[in-house]
Chain A
């Protein structure tokens, strides 16, 4: 792999006045042309990581380790202003909820023009042509009409296409999609995922796809990072991790995926218990209280990351390289 677009090394993030870090010692890399799926339950630190990658953590948050975009450490070497210069040009995002992500009192066309503000040296006609081109790329019908409409006049699926088009207008080297289909119904989700798959083909950089849905990862991603309670429990290529999961949490997640259940059943499997609260983390392995295969050592000692091959690792005592 050439130099990674995004490289996290031992990143921990603590929100101001929080009792503990929301993300701890997370390391992974995303290379050019790669799509990384970040998977985890609510509260696993997915959205915190997404905010950190954009440099949009709340003021006063404490970040340790290094988070490098094209070799530059976002939190060590860059000022607020430098970070802002990256957003909307080198790094673009697609928000979770399309219904609230756009300004409710402004026409779509004008908003899409504002999102191109870094490219405002281009003539107006060219900017408008780019908007139309992108709206066609996300397969929006009647782009001319849509540009004259307000967000409340459009459906969730159309709004999310607009958001994808907005992100593509930035021509980013890193595209971050934070659960872009969570707020949509199943049919629309399938369409949006199809458009996402096409869209990332046209990008020159890397894509990070945050989700809680394993089937989405399988469909769209090359690599996967499984997060649990702010820690990275397993990472590798999608084929490796989904085909041969090593960490008990990854195994449990896969068992819960309805798409993988073959026998007809009236009860869907779940993982018993809940993610530990920020101020109530176990002393040993963070997954130990819910782990079906925990042994005495898991209670006492936090497992280290075991390398299982190039860019493949799992954090569990039971894993033997």
Chain B
């Protein structure tokens, strides 16, 4: 178990380093002169050259990448071109809001989607199974930003039940929750259907295994078998899919944060793209990648706990 987790952790670190290097190269390969954008059209060549030197843009790409990684290791994410503030400050101020949004989105989706999937699996090929199938498939197809816009129009503008923009007053938990409701709803809707479908298939597969019949032949009730003994096995593939799906969810969060003008990693990255603020963009994406790797590691750890066979195989 411990070696399995250590291996998974090392793998996560490798993924993190490789993806950061790729990101760095990609962002700097994009056309457009950051010096010209940062300093404006009327800046002189000398000013631009000074800027490039200051930001290290005149170094070879490999050197830039190496020093970027080296600085990251020391917690130095670079400097915001516009405000001259350390990127780390901006990114870590935004991080908790995005994490809250993603986690609340996934939790409410799992809380609704899992029981729906179980219900459908216990009554396969009946009307209720069909109905749950239709609803899940329809919501899976809805992109988060579209849900965000509809939710905004309906619940914030027309009904005025929830605030339309922002993340709420700092320190006022109730106000923050009030502001969180619509974005979390928008992010999670598609996941309700996705999780319901995954859970249904996985439950049906596990219910067909011979050891389930053993429980039945010992007179254990069907509901107890499904919830206590089949579900913990059936959620294993669902968790690994969710671990990978966190990436999807984070990219959904970017657009949802933009729609609701909610400060977070998404809107930070979005604004940085518009203003060609490379260090901020890199910082936001690096932290997002870190979140993704962390989510995968947590998923692996949970799976190892639920299925000891996997941990032994490595």
Contacts and interface: CB of A to CB of B under 8 A. Distances in A.
Interface in A121-156: 150, 152
B214 interface: yes
Contacts of A106: 229
Given A95-B210, A150-B308, A103 B219 contact: no
A103 B211 contact: yes
Interface in B88-112: none
Contacts, number: 65
B220 A117 contact: yes
Nearest to B230: A103
Interface stretch (A79-87, A194-202, A274-282, A293-301): A79-87
A159 to B, nearest CB: 11
A95 B213 contact: yes
Contact of A105 (B217, B221, B307): B307
A118 B210 CA distance: 21
Contacts of B221: 84
A99 to B, nearest CB: 9
A101 B210 contact: yes
A88 B210 contact: no
Q: Is the interface of A mostly helix, strand, loop or mixed?
A: mixed
B220 A105 contact: no
B213 A104 contact: no
B218 interface: yes
A54 interface: yes
Given A104-B309, A105-B306, A105-B308, A93 B217 contact: yes
B309 A118 contact: no
A152 B309 contact: yes
B216 A87 contact: yes
Nearest to B310: A105
B220 A114 contact: yes
Given A87-B219, A101-B214, A105-B307, 18 more contacts: A56-B216, A85-B219, A87-B218, A88-B218, A95-B210, A95-B213, A95-B214, A97-B210, A102-B214, A105-B233, A105-B306, A105-B308, A114-B220, A115-B218, A117-B218, A117-B219, A118-B219, A152-B312
B84 interface: no
Interface of A: 54, 56, 84-89, 92-93, 95, 97, 100-106, 114-115, 117-118, 150, 152, 166, 170
Interface in B220-247: 220-221, 229, 232-233
**Interface-central residue, B209, B219, B233, B309, by most chain A CB under 10 Å:** B219
A224 B217 CA distance: 24
Given A104-B309, A106-B229, A150-B308, A88 B211 contact: no
B210 A100 contact: yes
Nearest to B307: A105
A102 B216 CA distance: 12
Interface residues of B, number: 20
B207 to A, nearest CB: 13
25 contacts: A56-B213, A56-B217, A87-B218, A87-B219, A88-B220, A89-B219, A92-B218, A95-B213, A95-B214, A100-B209, A100-B211, A102-B211, A103-B211, A103-B214, A103-B229, A103-B233, A104-B307, A104-B309, A105-B232, A105-B309, A106-B229, A114-B229, A115-B218, A117-B220, A118-B219
A134 to B, nearest CB: 14
Which A-B residue pairs are the 7 nearest by beta carbons? Answer: A88-B218, A87-B219, A88-B219, A100-B210, A93-B217, A84-B219, A103-B211
Contacts of A85: 219
B78 to A, nearest CB: 46
Contacts of B312: 152
A309 to B, nearest CB: 35
Contacts of A115: 218
A105 B312 CA distance: 12
Contact of B211 (A54, A92, A101, A118): A101
A309 B211 CA distance: 42
Interface in B171-227: 209-211, 213-221
**Interface-central residue, A56, A105, A115, A118, by most chain B CB under 10 Å:** A105
Contacts of A170: 218
Contacts of A152: 309, 312
A182 B13 CA distance: 48
**Interface-central residue, B213, B218, B221, B309, by most chain A CB under 10 Å:** B218
Given A100-B211, A101-B210, A87 B217 contact: yes
Nearest to A90: B219
Interface in B34-76: none
Contacts of B308: 105, 150
